[in-house]
Structure 1
Amino acid sequence: MCKDWTPGKFPEGRTASQRLREWIDAGAGGLDAVGLDLTGADLSYGDFSESWFTDAKLVNARLVEAELYRSDAQGADFSGADLTGCSLVRVNLDDAVLRDATLDLANLVKASLCDVDASGASCRGTQFRGASLLGVNLRSADLSNAMFQENSFQVTLDQNTKIDGASGSVFGPAAIVEGDVSRELSGAALGGWIKAKGGDIRVLS
């Protein structure tokens, strides 16, 4: 952590604010934010490598270009949060909520996303290479120019999911929701659906 770093805005809750101040004063180690309410805090550019955000509430928080390498954010609520350019390499995001969050240009290489609600999320140019996407809701999400590489891609997509310019390779199957009908596609069928929406993603068998 950079010794000169301070949050753009501290959390409003006294417990979370005090915990963050104590961690900054300590100047070393990961932040223990398990279960804390960090709603609306601006933690942009902070180094939170190997921290614990398990079940934390980060609704509308800002983590622009923050470093969360190998952190645990299982069950955390990032609804509406701004994680533009955030490093989420090898982060555990299982059961997290990323609804309407902004993850443009974020790095999720080898992150774990199991049973994640990322509906309406903006993931333009996001790096998903090697990440596990299992049971991820990507309905109405924007995956334009996102990059994949041999990702597990058991996700839910719909006609409002944007995939134009997305590239790389994934393993299916994916659930495609069209109106009130959901169908499972894999292999060439999934690849064709992605291509029709402007993506260039190879679906591996």
Structure 2
Amino acid sequence: MSSGTRKNWAPRAFPTDPRATTRLREWLESGAEGKLDVVGLDLSDADLSGGDFSESWFSDSKLRNAKLVGAEFYRSDAEGADFSGADLTQASLVRGNFDDAVFRGAVLDGADMVKASFYDVDASGASLRGARIMGASLVDVDLRGADLSHAVLRENSFKVTVDHRTKVEGLSGTVFGPVQVIDDQALRHEIGGTELERWVRERGGSIEVLPLADGQRET
């Protein structure tokens, strides 16, 4: 790679889609601090581990089965992006916008999700073991079959859907509920407060459900 390559980083494997590869190469070879714009492009199966994509644009892009280990997405906009099966182990999603995104079967073990936004997100079957989900907004997030073992929560909006396959062993911290629970008969129940605390405790976790502040309404 030329000396102008962005921060001397290069993908371990480029996307198979030629348009996405061309965009990445142009961005790297510019040597600039500018943001990457891959809106609507297909970066599936690429290995972009360790890349710094701070404040970049991934809206409606496809990153299916991509390797993004340790990647930096600080303040990036990935609204509507598809991360199905992607590996985001130890990635930073701090203050990113992931509304309407898909993380089905993705790995976010140890990921930093502080103050990130997740509205209407499909994270079913995802692994978030040890993730830091602090001050984040999780609203209408599908966590059925997800693994939240030893994840840390702090004052999150946590209006998620879980089921008997959702793992919460070692889950700790504070949340605002309520949570939708789908039982073995596929019936949906809404639980919050002490009932939600008990549900988590019975499965090996320990959380505190915070009351809504005066004037704060559930959405």
- TM-score normalised by the shorter chain: which range applies? over 0.9
1:14 aligns with 2:18: yes
Aligned partner letter, 1:59: R
- TM-score, with normalisation over the residues of structure 1? 0.98
Q: In structure 1, what is the equivalent of residue 35 of structure 2?
A: 30
State the SS of the aligned residue for 2:101. Answer: coil
Deviation at 1:3, TM superposition (A): 2.2
Aligned partner letter, 2:10: T
Runs of 4+ in 1 over 6 A off after TM superposition: none
Alignment of 1:15-94 (within 5 A): 15-27=19-31, 28-94=33-99
Unaligned segments of structure 2, at least 5 residues: 212-219
Per-residue CA deviations over 1:120-170 (Å, capped at 9, x if unaligned) read: 000000000000000000000000000000000100010100000011000
1:3 aligns with 2:3: no
Q: In structure 2, what is the equivalent of residue 186 of structure 1?
A: 192
Per-residue CA deviations over 1:66-102 (Å, capped at 9, x if unaligned) read: 1110000000000000000000000100000000000
Deviation at 1:2, TM superposition (A): 5.2
Q: Which has the larger radius of gyration?
A: 2
**1:134 is matched with which residue: 139, 142, 149?**
139
- TM-score, with normalisation over the residues of structure 2? 0.92
Q: Percent identity?
A: 59
* Contact 1:2/1:47 (<8 A) preserved: no
For 1:29 and 1:48, the matched residues in 2 are separated by 10
Q: In structure 2, what is the equivalent of residue 148 of structure 1?
A: 153
For 1:102 and 1:197, the matched residues in 2 are separated by 21
Aligned partner letter, 2:44: T
Aligned partner letter, 1:22: E
* Contact 2:172/2:205 (<8 A) preserved: yes
For 1:110 and 1:72, the matched residues in 2 are separated by 13
What do you get for the CA RMSD once the two structures are aligned? Answer: 0.9
For 1:194 and 1:121, the matched residues in 2 are separated by 18
Aligned partner letter, 2:142: N
* Contact 2:73/2:94 (<8 A) preserved: yes
For 2:127 and 2:66, the matched residues in 1 are separated by 15
* Contact 2:105/2:123 (<8 A) preserved: yes
What is the total number of aligned residue pairs between the two structures?
205
* Contact 1:58/1:79 (<8 A) preserved: yes
* Contact 1:2/1:46 (<8 A) preserved: no
Aligned partner letter, 2:76: S
Q: In structure 1, what is the equivalent of residue 214 of structure 2?
A: none
